Amino acid sequence: MLEMLMNPRKVEREPWEMFFVGLFYAAISILLVNWIFAKDLVLSKYSSILIVTFTVMFSIPFMYYIIKLEEVKNIREKSNFSLIKEHGRALSALIYLFLGFVVAFAFFYIAMPNQTPINFKAQIEQYCAINSVNLDNCVKNNGIVTGNLVKTTTGYASSGAHFFSILTNNVFVMIFVLVFSLAFGAGAIFILAWNASVIGAAIGIFTNATLNKIHIGLVRYMVHGIPEIAAYFVAALAGGILSVAIIKHEFGKPEFSKVLQDSITMLLLAILILIIAAFIEVFVTPKFFG
């Protein structure tokens, strides 16, 4: 019942409402996982992934409806401009959903300090793997006891190298999102919810777990985060509408080539947005936040 508290059709008219849906689903997932699995000696070890799993499960009906609506639009709309405008509403709904996730995850990272090493274990490990030269120290400083992590970052010789490294990494994520959404219409939401949880943890770490600095952390990560995530969502929609078209056995029909054309346009757009996001991340954000 919680997955349908808000009608997806209504959300398309008022995309900002998805922010509260994201906030609510991420919060409910954290509370459910903490309440139900806390006493389970095995599953409690995996809370950080279970939180993402449940957030995804709650969000899947929305993803389905949105992708289905978008696929219908693809066939109905004539001009590319109006099509992009139409997809834009779904896109902003998904970005609001993502923002809701990020704020909820950041809030619970800060508000439940005793649970943080359990609730955000995988996210802290991922954050440290991306951002820290000394991985072991980084995870230990954030309360994680672990023994099997491998260092992946070695530092960058120049901003240009950093830019290309970020861009390559993000293009890989985009490819995963595309493959996931092709394999399973709404599947990309897993990667997006996972990224939201990592950013939530990163905000918690950046603000030293101080609640009244959460807005600074949000700005720090959202300046490049919003275009980056928008690119992933564009790729998810491209894969999603193609997946729905295949399910509906439109393969070979004129409708299918229209969907395919639209998906390729959307992918090119996603790559362009990713380049802009990587530029902001490497050259703009550090000027303001170090």
Alpha-carbon distance 96 to 102, whole Å?
10
**Minimum distance between the CB of residue 72 and another protein, rounded to whole angstroms?**
16
Question: Pick from 34, 74, 119, 126: which binds another protein (CB under 8 A)?
Answer: 126
Does 56 interact with another protein (rule: CB under 8 A)?
yes
Among the residue ranges 10-18, 59-67, 73-81, 258-266, the one whose residues contact another protein (CB under 8 A): 59-67
Does 53 interact with another protein (rule: CB under 8 A)?
yes
**Minimum distance between the CB of residue 261 and another protein, rounded to whole angstroms?**
19
Question: Pick from 34, 48, 195, 197: which binds another protein (CB under 8 A)?
Answer: 48
**Minimum distance between the CB of residue 266 and another protein, rounded to whole angstroms?**
17
Q: Counting Cβ atoms within 10 Å, is residue 166 exposed (0-12), middle (13-18) or buried (19+)?
A: buried
Name residues contacting another protein, limited to 251-290 (CB under 8 A): none
Report the Cα–Cα distance between both ends of the chain, in Å, rounded: 45
Amino acid at 247: I
Among the residue ranges 8-16, 147-155, 223-231, 276-284, the one whose residues contact another protein (CB under 8 A): 147-155
Identify whether the C-beta of residue 270 lies closer than 8 Å to the C-beta of residue 174.
yes
- Say how many C-beta atoms besides its own lie within 10 A of residue 75's C-beta: 17
Identify whether the C-beta of residue 177 lies closer than 8 Å to the C-beta of residue 239.
yes
Does 157 interact with another protein (rule: CB under 8 A)?
no
